[in-house]
Amino acid sequence: MTDRPTIAVIGAGAVGGYYGARLAQHGHDVHLLLRSDYAIVRAAGLSVRSVDGDFALPPEQLHVYDDAAAMPPADLVIVTLKSTDNHQFPRLIPPLLKPGTAILTLQNGLGNEDELARLFGPKTVLGGMAFVCINRTAAGHIEHSDYGVIKLGEFTANESSRSPRVEQIAAMLRASNINAEALDDLKAGRWDKQVWNVPFNGLGALLDATTDVLLSTDAGVQQVRALMEEVIRAAAADGVTLPPDVAEKKITATRSMGRYRTSTQIDRQNGRPMEIDAIFARPVEIARRAGVTVPLMELLLFALTTLSAGASSASPFGRGSG
Amino acid sequence: MTDRPTIAVIGAGAVGGYYGARLAQHGHDVHLLLRSDYAIVRAAGLSVRSVDGDFALPPEQLHVYDDAAAMPPADLVIVTLKSTDNHQFPRLIPPLLKPGTAILTLQNGLGNEDELARLFGPKTVLGGMAFVCINRTAAGHIEHSDYGVIKLGEFTANESSRSPRVEQIAAMLRASNINAEALDDLKAGRWDKQVWNVPFNGLGALLDATTDVLLSTDAGVQQVRALMEEVIRAAAADGVTLPPDVAEKKITATRSMGRYRTSTQIDRQNGRPMEIDAIFARPVEIARRAGVTVPLMELLLFALTTLSAGASSASPFGRGSG
């Protein structure tokens, strides 16, 4: 990458908007592809409230687009689309490519890197997990309410998923006041995050329950732990050995998060598509292929799929079944 | 029992109202304890639409009460309270007892007979399962939309739960145009019904899905079957061996029921208490004590309990978690 790389953010919602804005705030050449908030952000800019410092970017300091074809080729493409929109990759990403472009997906779940690799070549692709709490409070308004870190690595990794490119991007993020770390093993990092996402996003959406509610009873802790253990088994079947205390550590860490709504709970509340494939279906499919039984994940997958099929009406009870 | 026994029906909602009305229609001395519909039924009587023939009972042909203390002692007490109201047994039932009174519970789930036996003596108690589709369409209006049978037996059974008393009650019901059978093994009958209730009442309430929706995908059939297999294992741990084809037979029979809403789905839709203890918690407790793991039933129990705790508002998404 050049000293002043061109950075494109595809799907600049809460997470993409925040990182794009931070990079722009620190002088980077950032180009944001927006959808629903395009007109407002183009007119009024972005306003960020953050535990790492509030700031605003007026429209004249932003490059915003509602059409990927109008964007310049980029050195780094950061993908923060919801994974339910991955079918748009073939339309959105090719206009941004040039020789040497790196594509970094910060999306939830499993399989996003694989999809990008199939379309644009595996060496193009990097993956990262954003362990943060960032919400869009209104059009053009972003709230970053909890500290966090982006852990990123190469999709094609031999000994380690760290590479000069990964280290360079991590350094660039850190220089823009974004906590970032190069990962030794992206695949292990993905499964590690799944250990959290499957129980909390799954049960949270199914029961409209925040993390504190799920952990408020012994029965809830038992269900969270049982789901985590299934994810750990699926990871092992996929060649990833997670630390023996990973489940307990995550449960303890989650208690300190307070009343947290996962993105999947928020999606269901708002009648938006839930990220069922990336967070639930793909890990279940990996477990099935490996002959590992994950009955609770199968039940969650069925339940969320059924709810999703009935979610066209505003209320989950609005389908008029009687 | 005498030739013209006094029959009390406790909790004369849809099921109790229907059977009470049928017995009264055929000349029996029936006394109905009602709650919410008392005033309307007292003023306007009961109106029944039934696949076995429509009929109406004017108020002067009915004995209705809103207070058990005002009712006469009975030869037969039919209990059709929702099991969530079992804590009212000590208040509602003693006024109806005399030497030789038989108490027949037609409630859902496990443990209702045990509770009655603890309070009023095991030899007093009979149990039955009503395999029917009966709904209250309005106050005083009952719709019996599908054929069905009451299977009943003694709570304390040695060789068989059939007894002269059970045969006599079954004959009385049949003489009143109610399909009824004496059961050889009440406990096996209870577990057999649980094989159906756990998946269909459980998933139906959790997902607001009718039986046809649950069986409309391979994944749904797989989940129903997996839950049935857990119930079969729990039954075995409780000493009941169900036939090997019980799950497949019930799935096949359910396909012919069309778009059926279980009582638990209806309860959740209407914000009423769900019968979680009788249908889910007690079988799980029996399995736990026997050391049998029933992870899917545990998850269902946790899920319904969590939804129930948040069900005070009208919408399942109305708790304002964000």
Give pLDDT, residue B71. 98
**Among A151, A187, A193, A250, which one carries the catalytic annotation?**
A193
Min CA distance, A207 vs chain B (Å)? 6
Residues B220, A303: C-beta atoms closer than 8 Å? no
Given the structure tokens 């823009």, which residue do they identify? A176
Min CA distance, B51 vs chain A (Å)? 19
Give pLDDT, residue B319. 33
pLDDT tens per residue, range A153-202? 999 987 899 999 999 999 999 999 999 999 999 999 999 999 999 999 99
Give pLDDT, residue B311. 58
Confirm if B256 and B232 have CB atoms less than 8 A apart. no
Min CA distance, A272 vs chain B (Å)? 14
User: In the annotation, is B151 catalytic?
Assistant: no
Instruction: Look up residue B47 and give its amino acid.
Output: S
Min CA distance, B191 vs chain A (Å)? 22
- Residues B255 and B120: their CA atoms lie apart, in Å, by 40
Q: 3-state SS of A39-96?
A: HHHHHHCEEEEECCCCEEECHHHCEEECCHHHCCCCCEEEECCCHHHHHHHHHHCHHH
Tokens matching residue B148: 């069905």
Alpha helices (runs of H) in chain A, residue ranges in sequence order = 14-25, 38-44, 89-92, 112-120, 164-175, 186-207, 211-214, 218-237, 246-255, 263-269, 276, 282-289, 295-309
Give pLDDT, residue A322. 29
Give pLDDT, residue A293. 96
Find the CB nearest B307 among A207, A261, A322.
Answer: A207
Find the CB nearest A207 among B222, B268, B303.
Answer: B303
Residues A208, B303: C-beta atoms closer than 8 Å? no
Block mean pLDDT (10 aa), chain A, length 322: 88 92 96 95 95 94 96 98 96 97 97 98 96 87 88 91 96 96 96 97 98 97 98 97 96 90 93 96 97 98 95 40 30
pLDDT tens per residue, range B73-85? 999 999 999 999 9
Tokens matching residue B253: 């029979």
Give pLDDT, residue A318. 35
The CA angle B253-B258-B261, to the nearest 5 degrees, is 100
Instruction: Look up residue B246 and give its amino acid.
Output: V
- Residues B296 and A298: their CA atoms lie apart, in Å, by 10
Instruction: Look up residue A241 and give its amino acid.
Output: T
* A46 bridge partner residues: A57
Residue A220 is given by DSSP the state H
Find the CB nearest B209 among A208, A306, A315.
Answer: A306
In this structure, what is the dihedral angle of CA atoms B202, B205, B207, B210, given to the nearest 10 degrees?
90
Task: List the one residue out of A283, A260, A272 whose CA is nearest residue A194.
Answer: A283
Query: Which backbone phi and psi does A245 adopt, to 5 degrees?
Result: -100, 15
Residues on chain A touching B267 (C-beta within 8 angstroms)? none
- Domains of chain A in sequence order: 6-184 (3.40.50.720), 188-314 (1.10.1040.10)
Residue length of chain B: 322
- Residues A20 and A176: their CA atoms lie apart, in Å, by 10
- Residues B76 and B168: their CA atoms lie apart, in Å, by 11
Percent of chain A having pLDDT more than 90? 87
Given the structure tokens 């998923």, which residue do they identify? A161
Give pLDDT, residue A319. 33
Residues on chain A touching B213 (C-beta within 8 angstroms)? 306, 321
Best probe of the B interface among A200, A208, A216, by most B CBs < 10 A, is A208
- Residues B319 and B310: their CA atoms lie apart, in Å, by 7
**Full pLDDT tens readout for chain B, 322 residues:** 667 899 999 998 899 999 999 999 999 999 999 999 999 999 999 999 999 999 999 999 999 999 999 999 999 999 999 999 999 999 999 999 999 999 999 999 999 999 999 999 999 999 999 988 888 899 999 999 877 899 999 999 878 999 999 999 999 999 999 999 999 999 999 999 999 999 999 999 999 999 999 999 999 999 999 999 999 999 999 999 999 999 999 999 999 888 889 999 999 999 999 999 999 999 999 999 999 999 999 999 999 999 999 854 434 443 333 2
Q: How many other β-carbons are positioned within 10 Å of the β-carbon of residue B123? A: 12
Give pLDDT, residue B1. 64
Instruction: Burial-class residue A11 by CB neighbours within 10 Å (0-12, 13-18, 19+).
Output: buried
- Residues A14 and A25: their CA atoms lie apart, in Å, by 16
Beta strand B125-138 with A76-79 is unpaired
Best probe of the A interface among B229, B306, B307, B313, by most A CBs < 10 A, is B306
Give pLDDT, residue B135. 84
Long-range contacts (CB closer than 8 Å, 24 or more residues apart) made by B62-67? B62/B24, B62/B30, B62/B32, B63/B29, B63/B30, B63/B31, B63/B32, B64/B12, B64/B31, B64/B32, B64/B33, B64/B34, B64/B38, B65/B31, B65/B32, B65/B33, B65/B34, B65/B38, B66/B33, B66/B34, B66/B35, B66/B38, B67/B33
In order, the DSSP letters of B77-123 are EEE-S-GGGGGGHHHHSGGG--TT-EEEE--SSSSHHHHHHHHH-GG
Residues on chain A touching B306 (C-beta within 8 angstroms)? 207, 209, 213-214, 220
Give pLDDT, residue B315. 41
Instruction: Look up residue B51 and give its amino acid.
Output: V
- Residues B78 and B98: their CA atoms lie apart, in Å, by 14
- Residues B23 and B177: their CA atoms lie apart, in Å, by 8
Give pLDDT, residue A133. 81
How far is the CA of A193 from the CAs of A11, A18, A90, B137, B193, in angstroms?
21, 21, 27, 49, 41
Residues A261, B321: C-beta atoms closer than 8 Å? yes
